[in-house]
Structure 1
């Protein structure tokens, strides 16, 4: 049996297992419910049923690192995505991971409440490449004032390691735009999965999503860097719109 056949069989087995998860288990694990949602999309696409699966991911990073959803684009035949990522270093990694420009659009902007430019705090790409910084810092860029960039409460109060990282922090200016402008210029008229991972700016993004118009089947929003009042706003918006929600680790998963 060659590797291609073996990999195909393993993939088919994963899909079957995901689709067969009982409701009692899914309710205890929202990320498992997400797996079932995505596996079902892969199953439909494999047999040519329905419109192409379409994702919008704001804060896509490189589409691989610590991301359990975006890689499904490679498993869902014909899937499409708008991948929003303002950091040039991450854009390069993202394009390498998702080279099909016809299917995967990279939007090199930060989503804000008005079009223009904005300062983003990020880590030096050369230091990331050389291994001087932890790998997870590749995804640590933010437009907001969060503990992520102060070290307090991020890696522990007064984390001594943080002082070794601060010389590699820098501010860069990037283009910014509203979420609706991003969706409109890419002709997005439906969204199957909507992801937000913006290190503290998540509510600024999610607040702009018109749930009545797009009604994504699955939504995932990172809560870990949000202020408590913004966490509440995210949950109220989802609940009011009739979504089934669950929290796993630092994310809220919601299903229409």
Structure 2
């Protein structure tokens, strides 16, 4: 079934492919799966910052199961999500989980998230599993995300929690995991996306595919993301709340 999915992805006509960045992403990942199946090239390497559980609302990370021998560094600061992530990606040798937040300096940081017991019980909407933030552009602020402007704010606010998590720089995480190349780089950090992407050395790693969530970013930081990609010679497309880029 997975092989059929790969073949179908490769068969998307170019005319359709060029209309949607996610379709180009699917084609990129399908080629990676095909090359890996036939032993071509080095093992596929993904870095995903803000991995959540690697399944919900994620059209890229599950490809790790379709690309033979794929490897990944999965960064996720929320303990509840870390447990779900490990269940979904149990191979500890190929899939390294970094239980921290990416910041500009190492240390610790306060993250606003939702009560794990309420999430597990289904008391909160399922999308709240992925709503954790170190910035004020999400959750309580109501900017492009649930917040005080939402009619259900008072119902959900009692379940908000501030937790302290360790933090480190992106380069330290890459070095610690001996990442020498990156094929796919993903960022989904609910407003901290530029803080992360700004630290990626594009000249050194030059990922074939990059996906950065911009839905919770202020306009200036959205511009920073696009300018950095364009300056580095990437082909850039925007779909919904994500910027997709291809080397």
TM-score range, shorter chain: over 0.9
Q: Pick from 161, 167, 176 the counterpart of residue 158 of structure 2.
A: 167
- In the other structure, the counterpart of 1:108 is 99
- In the other structure, the counterpart of 2:48 is 57
* Secondary structure of residue in 2 paired with 1:67: coil
- 1:1-256 aligned at under 5 Å gives the runs 10-151=1-142, 153-155=144-146, 158-256=149-247
Deviating beyond 4 angstroms after TM superposition, the runs of 4 or more aligned structure 1 residues are none
* Secondary structure of residue in 2 paired with 1:149: coil
The separation in 2 between residues aligned to 1:249 and 1:174, in whole angstroms, is 30
Residues 63-95 of structure 1 show CA distances to partners (whole Å, capped at 9, x for unaligned) of: 001000000000101000000001101000000
| TM-score of the pair, normalised by structure 2 | 0.97
Q: 1:184 to 1:153 in 2, by over 3 A?
A: closer
* Secondary structure of residue in 1 paired with 2:215: coil
Aligned residues: 247
Residues 91-136 of structure 1 show CA distances to partners (whole Å, capped at 9, x for unaligned) of: 0000000000000000011000000000000000001011110000
The separation in 2 between residues aligned to 1:79 and 1:14, in whole angstroms, is 17
Q: Gaps (5+ residues) in structure 1?
A: 1-9
The separation in 2 between residues aligned to 1:197 and 1:254, in whole angstroms, is 15
The separation in 2 between residues aligned to 1:150 and 1:232, in whole angstroms, is 21
| TM-score of the pair, normalised by structure 1 | 0.94
Considering only aligned residues, what root-mean-square deviation do their CA atoms show, in Å? 1.2
Q: Gaps (5+ residues) in structure 2?
A: none
* C-alpha displacement of 1:156: 8.1
